[in-house]
Amino acid sequence: MRVVVSVGGSVLAPDLDPDRVAAYAAALDEAVEAGHEIGVVVGGGPVAREYIEAARELDTTEVELDRLGIGVTHLNARLLRAALDAPSARTDGYEASVEAMAAGRIPVMGGVAPGQTTDAVAAALAEDARADLLLFATSVDGVYDVDPTADGEAVRFDELTPGELVDVVAPMSRSAGASAPVDLLAAKLVERAGLRALVVDGIDPETVRRAIVDGEFDGTEIR
Ligand code: UTP
C-alpha cells in the first residue's frame, strides 16, 4: 500500500525528546519493512507556534510568520530523518517526493508555501502519489462535530465522506486559533482527489504502525 502520513509537530515533537522521535521513526521503518511505500510530511508543533507568536509582536506580515512556521517544519523533518533507518530523502517538492517513494525511499517533507499548513501538503502529496491512504496523525483522536477540548458534549464521527469533512471543518477553520483537526484546504484536496483518509491520535506512534500494517485504527475514516 502507498501511504502518506501527516505527522503533526505536536505529536512528533511536543518537546525535543529524541526517544519520541526514534519511536516515530521505528514505526515508519516497520511499515516500510512490511512492504508499504511511505511518504511523510512533518508539522511545526509548539516550537513553530512560539516563533510565530514572538514574531507577531514585531509587526511583520502574516506571510513572513508562515515562513517562520515553514522553517520549523523543515527542522522537524530533518530531526525525523535523522532517526529513520529506511533510506530517506528530505525533499521540498511533490515530484521529488513521489519519485523517492517509487524508488523505495521515505520522502520527509515540511511546509512548502505560505497560507496553509502541512495537512494540505500531505493531502497534495497523497493525490500526486496516488496514495491508497492519507493518514493524519494529530493530537485528537478523530474529527468531532465541535472542538472537543472546548465542548464536553462533542461527538466524534467514525466515518465521513470527503464532502462531509469539508462541511464539518469549514466553520472550525474560520475562527482564530483554528481548532480543526484537519485544515480546510486539506479537506478540499481530499474531496477533490477522492482520497481515503484516516484521522487518528498520533501521540503514540504505535497507532500509526497499526493503522498502516494491521489496518486497525480508532479514529475517523474519510472515504
Ligand atoms: P503546521 O502544519 O505544523 O501547522 O505548520 P499546525 O497545523 O498549526 O500545527 P500542528 O503541527 O498540527 O500542531 C506550522 C505553521 O507553518 C506555516 C503555517 O504558519 C503553520 O501554522 N506553514 C506550514 C505554511 O505557511 N505553509 C505550509 O505549507 C506549512
pLDDT (tens digit, 9 = 90+) per residue, 70-95?
A: 999 999 999 999 999 999 987 889 99
* Residue 177 pLDDT > 60: no
Closest C-alpha residue for ligand 1 atom 28: 111
In this structure, are residues 8 and 110 in contact, taking their beta carbons and an 8 Å threshold? no
Structural domains of the chain sorted by starting position, each given as residue range(s) with its CATH number in brackets? 2-222 (3.40.1160.10)
Cell of 172: 472550525
Sign of the C-alpha dihedral computed for residues 12, 137, 180 and 128 taken in this order: positive
pTM over 0.85: yes
Instruction: Report pLDDT digits (tens) over 102-146.
Output: 998 999 999 999 999 999 999 999 999 999 999 999 999 999 999
Could you give the CA distance from residue 164 to residue 85 in angstroms, rounded to a whole number?
38
CA angle 31, 34, 40 (to 5 degrees): 25
Closest C-alpha residue for ligand 1 atom 27: 111
Ligand 1 centroid to Cα of residue 76, in Å, is 12
Query: Does any ligand 1 atom lie closer than 6 A to the CB of residue 142?
Result: no
Cell of 101: 517513494
In this structure, are residues 191 and 163 in contact, taking their beta carbons and an 8 Å threshold? yes
